[in-house]
Structure 1
């Protein structure tokens, strides 16, 4: 790794010359000082990649030196060397962030290996603050509903502010899509958009995931980890299912929102962050506060700009336009040539409750596109067994008779299962994937059909 800067803090002139000669021959840029009292000043001015410090250097306080590094924005790994090792002292220095603790005498190759490991880790951990994240794909929210259009207008107006946003809505309504829309319309567009699902991680991992940790902070913390807040610096942090966060972590989150700084697990000094937080929940946030599951002060801090997305069943005018969009999307992805829905299929969708909202509609249309035999999706392609045929509005044919030839839902289900098996040449795993069911459910259905024959 030629060209990197190494800074030696060491009094012994003979050792200094040996280190300089060895590392310069490897292509490194080497600076030294025999006086530890000026070490941090040099660090701030020259910004070396690696510091190697001998604990016997006059005027050098390793604890103070490491604490100053932690309190600054400097990215520099420190290797400590000593001829008089003390276990308790070594543990303290490692907790403060020292990369390694070497006991003299040692081979130069061993020190070179430590330097290269530190540089490799540093390359992975450096905060990508100067890096821009150009958006290659614009967020598209398909709607003709007046309430959704009002929400989009509100989201665009507040996007350029630094205010936190709380988005509430049932699962599948598009909360993350709204969060990305706000990010896209903000001045943080070309900065990171980092998403964290607060319900998907156990408590002990979520804290480290959000705030990061120092090397040696706990068993298994073999190196410093940069948390999501630091990764989202200058950008947007999306906290999904915020009401599922543990109570004590809610307190830490509140402090971050108020003070604009985080504390890594095991860290000594706070780290400043500039992050716009957008949180979501599929629960009633006020009810969660009343039940004692969610901090009231955090609720009000996040709820600066409240957005409540209505479920799909309350905006049925969007079902048709969304269906057309998803048909076009999956025809393009899967190479199909479906143009639309029959009147009966459209009527079934309009009567469906959609407990899974837009996500459920998308899955239904995707499956129907794959199963359709013609350029129009038929009722049986939808495979919806939650409605009885009596619940559907009658669709008149040209002769004036009701379309009653679709058969019972049970017959329709059996027909579609065997059709999927034919398409996959009997492969039950692939057929189950097309049908949107598990292999076990498919197997049980087939056994049921055999028993009834």
Structure 2
């Protein structure tokens, strides 16, 4: 399908000559002799691009451009003028014109400008598609009342520029909420920089957040750009902010108040425009009473508080989450898509989930890898997912002790050992590997072999 171009000019000779030349180049041509006519054609035909003369009777090109961009922001507009000046160019550009071409027209310049504008439009469409997919990927799944309320809070808070404090237990999805807020905000096309405050040593946190100059301390062989600087014009997500020292908290407070800071070892004041989203699994009010968290920083961050519900508070979402995680795990591990039978699903829905959504996701990934059948039944679930923590009295003696073949017994022991350790670590493969003293990739391969 050929790109459509609307030419708007009050000179019939321009419409005829320019239209003929562009038609020969393979464009589908529409014409209008004034702004009113152009707006009607745009509403009806929605062309890919508009070539718009700036000096016309009635509403001129600038006013027509305003109307086009108001209702059709993604249509590219190239301004044609016989009296080009800097003021007109600046005004047209601010209103959204892609380019400005002076008369007498050079067909080569016109074609280059049209192709550039159409390429830009395609990039915009790709960006909108990718942004949509990103929002879908980071969307909060579920239809329970707590989830619907959380989703409404996110949709209300996202367009604002104010600070947000997200609270909730470990594994509830606080970072997912932060990413969703960012992708729904006016800063969506700018960076989102995440900082896990609990994972950075105290002696390095200031350098990580604010950067440092070369030679600022031993080992600072080059200049380092900090996370706040990286997040300029975007969003910074300070996860587990309750684990920050009081010293670092005071510096964070100053940055939030002034949006200014110095790199470590530097004297130059850097100014940033950053939206801050913070999260904590701790009760910060209790931390304030203990004297381990600054009350002024808490009030600065807690402009819009969002509490993420625990999984046990949104049990109606578990069947949907199970389907999502099983499909995701099958795709990642290149295995067949598995399902849970009704009894297994019933047990998962009644389990208290101390590790929340993260525990559910890890469990289902483990079951996808370890269970050979297409249907996962209740016998495949670890004992702790049964009421009272035990499923079968006949399994008191380990099965591998009843085997005569050493290799088979060893394999059965390894499977039982790995399953137990995975469960005690909330099905977290990385944590389990560290606990039993092996590498994550080795444990992952071992789990696949035991499948």
Counting only pairs closer than 5 Å after superposition, residues 198-277 of structure 1 correspond to structure 2 as 198-277=197-276
What's the secondary structure of 1:373's corresponding residue?
coil
Give the corresponding residue for 1:367: 366
CA distances 1:245-294 after superposition (whole Å, capped 9, x unpaired): 01011111111111011221111121001111111000111111111111
State the secondary structure of the residue aligned to 1:221: coil
Look up the match of 1:356: 355
- Which residues of 2 match residues 156-167 of structure 1 at below 5 A? 156-167=155-166
How much does 1:351 deviate?
Answer: 2.3
Q: Does 1:380 align with 2:366?
A: no
Q: Give 1:342 shift.
A: 1.4
Please state how far the C-alpha of 1:408 moved relative to its aligned partner.
4.2
CA distance in 1, matches of 2:417, 2:223: 46
Tell me the equivalent position of 1:190: 189
Where in structure 2 are there 5+ consecutive unaligned residues?
A: 1-126, 424-431, 439-451
User: How far off is 1:201 after superposition?
Assistant: 1.1
CA offset digits 1:408-449 (Å, max 9, x no partner): 45468869x99xx97997895998389736577699xxxxxx
Query: Cα distance, 1:386 vs. partner?
Result: 5.5
Ranges in structure 1 where 5+ consecutive residues have no aligned partner: 1-131, 393-405, 444-453
CA displacement, residues 327-352 of structure 1 (integer Å, 9 cap, x when unaligned): 11112222322442112211221221
Alpha-carbon distance in structure 2 between the residues aligned to 1:181 and 1:422: 48
CA contact (8 A) 1:428 1:442 kept: no
Change (3 A) 1:430 1:389: closer
User: Are the aligned partners of 2:240 and 2:278 in contact in 1 as well (CA < 8 Å)?
Assistant: yes
SS in 1 for 2:277: strand
Residue 36 (structure 1) aligns with: none
Q: 1:330 to 1:423 in 2, by over 3 A?
A: farther
For residues 426 and 377 of structure 1, do their structure 2 counterparts lie closer, same or farther at Cα, with a shift above 3 Å needed? closer
What residue is the counterpart of 2:52 in the other structure?
Answer: none
Of 397, 414, 422, which aligns to 1:436? 422
Deviations 1:31-79 (A, max 9, x none): xxxxxxxxxxxxxxxxxxxxxxxxxxxxxxxxxxxxxxxxxxxxxxxxx
Distance 1:155 1:175 in 2: 12
Q: How many residues align?
A: 296
The whole-number CA distance in structure 1 between the counterparts of 2:260 and 2:375 is: 56
Taking the aligned partners of 2:420 and 2:333, their CA distance within structure 1 comes to 12
* Corresponding position of 2:283: 284
Kept after mapping to 2: 8 A contact 1:243/1:283: yes
What is the DSSP-based 3-state SS (H/G/I as helix, E as strand, rest coil) of the residue aligned with 2:278? strand
State the alpha-carbon separation in 2 of the partners of residues 412 and 240 from structure 1: 42
User: Which residue of structure 1 lines up, in the alignment, with residue 95 of structure 2?
Assistant: none
Higher helix share: 2
Pairwise CA RMSD: 3.4
Partner Cα distance (2:398, 2:412) in 1: 19
CA distance change for structure 1 residues 158 and 422 in 2, over 3 Å: closer, same or farther? farther
* 1:261–1:371 CA distance, 2 compared to 1 (3 A): same
1:230 & 1:277 partners in 2: Cα distance?
A: 13
Distance in 2, Cα, partners of 1:441 & 1:344 = 32
Q: Retained in 2: the 8 A contact 1:196–1:240?
A: yes
| 1:359–1:224 distance in 2 versus 1, CA, 3 Å | same
Change (3 A) 1:169 1:312: same
Helix, strand or coil at the partner of 2:236: strand
1:294/1:271 CA distance change after superposition, 3 Å:
same
Structure 1 equivalent of residue 4 of structure 2: none
Describe the shift of the 1:231–1:197 C-alpha distance in structure 2 as closer, same or farther (beyond 3 A): same
3-state SS, counterpart of residue 361 of structure 2 = helix
Tell me the equivalent position of 1:55. none
Tell me by how many angstroms 1:313 deviates: 1.1
